[in-house]
Amino acid sequence: MRTMFFTQAIDDALAQSMADDPCIILFGEDIQTIRRNLLVRFGPRRVRGTPISESAFLGAGVAAAMTGLRPVVEMYMVDFLGVCMDALLNHAAKIKTFSGGKWTVPIVVRAPCGGGYGDGGQHEQSLWGWLAHIPGLTVLVPSTPADAGGLMRAALQHDGPVVFLEHKLLSETWLEFLGSGGRRTVQFDVPAEGAKGAVPQKWKPLPIGKAILRRAGDDVIIISVGVGVHRAQEAAQALETEGISAGVLDLRTVSPLDKTAVCEAVAQTGRLLVVDEDYEGFGLSGELSAVVLETGISCRYARVCTQATIPYARHLEAQSLPNQQRICASVRQLME
Amino acid sequence: MPPDLWALYTLMLKSRLFEEAITKLWHDGLISGEMHIGTGEEAIIAGVVAHLREGDAMALDHRGTAALLMRGIDPVLILRELLGYSDGLCGGMGGHMHLFSKEHMTASSGIVGAEGPTAVGFAISAQHLHPGAIAVAFFGDGAMNQGMLMESMNLASAWNLPVLFVCKDDGWAVTTQSEHVTGGDLIERARGLGVQAIEVDGHNVSEVWEACHSAIERARSGQGPTFLHAQCVHFEGHFLGFQLIRVVRDPLRETPKVAFPLTQAFLHPGGATLGERLAGLRLVLESVLATLRDPRRDSANEPVRRTRTILHVDAVRLQEMENQVEEDVNRTLESALVEVPA
């Protein structure tokens, strides 16, 4: 068994896929720096740096995917999809339907997401709920190196458009590039199990749309993705000493949602807490409650999410993003 | 009319000392995230901002500290914002990429190119509500390839808006050399959209000031937008802790971290031909070599020192002025750091 850092695992799975499939090409801003290891192995024809022209290169990625290539288009941050959303919203997501199912768009959009390193509200958003809202997009949010590599492998074999979100707090390279800048004077609350972990010798695709139970529990099920999964596990650990048995379900895929796993877990415990680093309103947390209600399961429900624009000040940021304290408090309320 | 070089030098020196203090605070871990420092572009900012008056608006990029300071916004408030304090300029909510001052009609954005539409909107308001006022957009050469900026230049041209588009061109879009990703000539591009375009030496504050003087007068009198293209050098690269600069400044510590995985990947079986791999390696090395050869070493590209050399004819006055600026900045630092809010 090998161990890898989070981004190292994604790049390794990507490299394995690129070696297998010459149709995979990679482009985005600063690629010659950010993916330099892929550039020197696969060459500048397949690994290309772009200008800061997201509308052009993401839109071009969609069309290249329609015509035989399998592009991996990198965004600097998921926040910057705001600049070029048209390519995903009105094109990538709709072409299969518009063509009567005849034309698919096998593009992977890879973007760092999430906060916890003090970059402020325009650079730390999660936005997976916003993306998953659009029919036709697959949205992946891995929480461990093994899942990250396995899901990247799956994304590269998927027929439709996939948004692959890479949490910056788990990513050794993004956190170094944007957060510390080489400083030893700043600290981040990085979940160790998410940042580094065992990975398979050879990458196999993980099934898209399959959640995984990270921790079994009888009293309440906490459902989350990304860094939230680790925060939930820390909270569940702490709650154990209070005699509360909390389970943790890692969705891994936001869209399509693993409704079966969600409903099973909620039916068993009768209590659901959603931990979502994305915005609270009109998003994943509400969607999960709808899924459960539609199935006719009756349960107690609460959510710990990001409620407003993420503040710049580190202490306010820490309160704004879901943390162990808020999760524990919500679980205790559910237990009352 | 010649510029008041003493006033411009005061603005530039104050900004330089202020940003050097910010740099230290960032290294001490007191400022979080990406901190984009503008040391090296002071002549451009001073040459533009010195012309602004009440009613004029500014759209800033992620590197806006110098413009805010020179526009007269309380530096203690700016600093306390960067420190994330609740009594900072934006209550600690915005941070260094998102600095706002409603009183000074100044807005920042960390989204590259967003200054274009913002300045255009400010200029529309100026046409209606403050005739004679103008809007300035500050951005880098990287933003010139962003669609919304090009669209904004077209809109300003079509609607004859009082906008000054200021491109602070340091030749880099983060870690990418702009010449590798930019087609054609930027001046020609602006002219192609019907915007008057002027090329200036961005290290020469008098030249920037003079070019702006006529461009801004033109905008104020309803004759439309101007694009000002000014070369500069960013002494700290894209942001503090910039990887390329770290490799160049501290190669023993930084190079092995990069070189080991790079070599492994280069030699890894499966992938491109040797020729393609070498071409890839050349691209990676080129950005490091370009940073090594960077014009930041050339004193002609040091706008503060260049201006100082001219003023040195009156050494006594210069010394007095510099002492005063240093004292001001030290006082600002003391006030900003004196008390951490609860």
Residue A100: pLDDT band by 50, 70, 90 thresholds? very high
Question: Is the overall model pTM greater than 0.80, yes or no?
Answer: yes
Q: Which helix (H) or strand (E) holds B136?
A: strand B135-140
pLDDT tens for A273-321 read 999 999 999 999 999 999 999 999 999 999 999 999 999 999 999 999 9
Out of 3.40.50.970, 3.30.70.1230, 3.90.650.10, 3.40.50.300, select the CATH number for domain B5-233+298-337. Answer: 3.40.50.970
Q: Do B239 and A32 touch (CB under 8 A)?
A: no
Q: Do A123 and B33 touch (CB under 8 A)?
A: yes
Superfamily per CATH, domain A2-199:
Thiamin diphosphate (ThDP)-binding fold, Pyr/PP domains (3.40.50.970)
> What's the pLDDT score for residue B295?
77
Domain ranges (residues) in chain B? 5-233+298-337, 243-293
Residue B290: pLDDT band by 50, 70, 90 thresholds? confident
Q: Distances in Å between the alpha carbon of A27 and those of A18, B65, B229? A: 13, 32, 29
Q: Do A32 and B176 touch (CB under 8 A)?
A: yes
A33 Cβ under 8 Å from any chain B Cβ: yes
> What's the pLDDT score for residue A324?
98
Residue B287: pLDDT band by 50, 70, 90 thresholds? confident
Q: Which helix (H) or strand (E) holds A18?
A: helix A6-20
Query: Is the predicted pLDDT of residue A328 greater than 90, yes or no?
Result: yes
Mean pLDDT of B131-144: 98
Nearest Cα of chain B lies from the Cα of A240 at a distance, in angstroms, of 33
Q: Which two tokens stand for residue B1?
A: 């009319």
Nearest to A302 by CA among A213, A221, A239, A244: A221
Residue A116: pLDDT band by 50, 70, 90 thresholds? very high
What value of ipTM does the predicted structure carry?
Answer: 0.94
Q: Which two tokens stand for residue B5?
A: 């070089």
Dist CA B290 CA A258 (whole Å): 49
Residue B340: pLDDT band by 50, 70, 90 thresholds? confident
pLDDT tens for A18-67 read 999 999 999 999 999 999 999 999 999 999 999 999 999 999 999 999 99
User: What does pLDDT average to over chain A?
Assistant: 97
Q: Do B32 and A312 touch (CB under 8 A)?
A: yes
> What's the pLDDT score for residue A239?
98
pLDDT tens for B160-215 read 999 999 999 999 999 999 999 999 999 999 999 999 999 999 999 999 999 999 99
Enumerate the H helices of A156-281 as residue ranges: 172-174, 192-195, 227-240, 259-269
Under 8 Å CB pairs connecting chains A and B tally to 189
Query: Is the predicted pLDDT of residue B1 greater than 90, yes or no?
Result: no
> Which of helix, strand or coil describes residue B247?
helix
Domain ranges (residues) in chain A? 2-199, 212-335
Let me know: does A278 contact A127? Beta carbons within 8 Å: yes
Cβ neighbours of residue B265 under 8 Å, at least 6 residues apart?
Answer: A15, A36, A37, A38, A40, A41
Strands B163-169 and B226-231: parallel
Residue B15: pLDDT band by 50, 70, 90 thresholds? very high
Nearest Cα of chain B lies from the Cα of A112 at a distance, in angstroms, of 15
Domain spanning A212-335 has what CATH number? Answer: 3.40.50.920
Residue B144: pLDDT band by 50, 70, 90 thresholds? very high
Upper half-sphere CA count for residue A325 (Cβ side, 13 Å): 4
A188 Cβ under 8 Å from any chain B Cβ: no
Q: Distances in Å between the alpha carbon of B290 and those of A317, B279, B283, B286? A: 37, 16, 11, 6
- How far out from the chain centre does Cα B66 lie? 8
Interface test with A, best of B60, B152, B175, B267 (most A CBs within 10 A): B175
Identity of the residue in B92, B243, B272 whose CB atom sits nearest the CB atom of A316? B92
% residues pLDDT > 90 (chain A)? 100
